[in-house]
Amino acid sequence: MIGELYEHALAGWMRPEVERTDGSRMPLPVEGWLHESPGDKSLLDRCLGPTLDIGSGPGRLTVALAERGIPALGIDITPYAVDLARSSGAMVMLRDVFGRVPGTGRWMTVLLADGNIGIGGDPAALLRRAGELLAPEGCALVELEPPGSPLRREEVRLCYAGLASAWFPWAFVGTDQIEDVARDAGFGEVETWTVEGRWFASISCCRVVSEPAGALPEPCEVLCEALAEDLSEDLPSPEDSPEAADSPEDLPEDLPEDLPEAAEPEVLALLRNAYSQARG
């Protein structure tokens, strides 16, 4: 029911509310997720290098990053949201942030916008996971509640016209609380800012590596390598493979049969095109 109510909200068929255990409710801010919102630009301006958009939803930020020429991958657990994002031109995969994610340890920026710091109900655990996904020089960009808001870990559910989802864990992190959460997660310096009533933080990853990092690869290469790793260890190079496919029907018939579940035809087509661009 969680996914069904959320998907119907994205489709514009209903406007569910988020209910807390104390009975209070607040609107699910779907409109802000479907279209550019005030403050988005300040987030996008701080995305440096390959960016992972966690909980990308309908993909507005993933698309905006691609339009800026920044390699970006979105992940979301809702199939309809993934389809919606792809239809807008975003490169998005059906993934749980706590599961296998392409490019682990190589992303320069991780986005947790639109309250997604609340995923799973444990912000420190989510940031620790973000630290695993980030390169040592990377940072997490997080949207927060306004100053004065407490840190709340609680159960919530979606409700609409007598329908209700199961309760699920969520968290709300006030701007005053993010430094403590970042410290618990092992992150470094925290910078906060506000735009048009929205509050954000940039949190530096301070993960220590045993060897010097050396020169960073080209951004497009990072995204291509991340996806290739997830799809197949032996994906042929552009010189040895057919031309990039424009549609699932155009994909070659001799692709390996044991590709992971991530190898949806649309993703394969995007990947081949990305490889062509990266390899020149």
Domain with CATH 3.40.50.150 in the chain: 2-204
User: Rounded to whole angstroms, how far apart are CA atoms 112 and 202?
Assistant: 10
Rg (CA), the chain: 19
Q: How far is CA 140 from the centre of its chain?
A: 11
* Greatest extent of the chain over all pairs of C-alpha atoms, in Å: 61
CATH of domain 2-204: 3.40.50.150
User: Rounded to whole angstroms, how far apart are CA atoms 30 and 199?
Assistant: 18
User: For residue 169, what pLDDT is reported?
Assistant: 96
Contacts of 69 by beta carbon, 8 Å cutoff, 6+ apart: none
Best CA proximity match to 157, nearest among 145, 167, 143, 171: 167
SS3 114: coil
User: For residue 4, what pLDDT is reported?
Assistant: 86
C-alpha torsion sign, points 268, 102, 154, 25: negative
Contacts of 240 by beta carbon, 8 Å cutoff, 6+ apart: none
Structure tokens given for 212? 């010097």
User: Rounded to whole angstroms, how far apart are CA atoms 227 and 38?
Assistant: 31
Best CA proximity match to 192, nearest among 143, 134, 130: 143
Q: How many CA atoms lie within 13 A of 207 on its CB side?
A: 23
pTM exceeding 0.75 = yes
Residues with pLDDT less than 50, the chain: 208, 210-211, 213-217, 232-264, 266-267, 275-280
Structure tokens given for 12? 């514009």
CB neighbourhood size of 259 (10 A): 15
User: Rounded to whole angstroms, how far apart are CA atoms 95 and 81?
Assistant: 12
C-alpha torsion sign, points 93, 73, 139, 229: positive
User: Rounded to whole angstroms, how far apart are CA atoms 102 and 223?
Assistant: 9
Whether residue 105 contacts residue 168, with contact meaning beta carbons closer than 8 Å, is answered with no
User: Rounded to whole angstroms, how far apart are CA atoms 203 and 192?
Assistant: 9
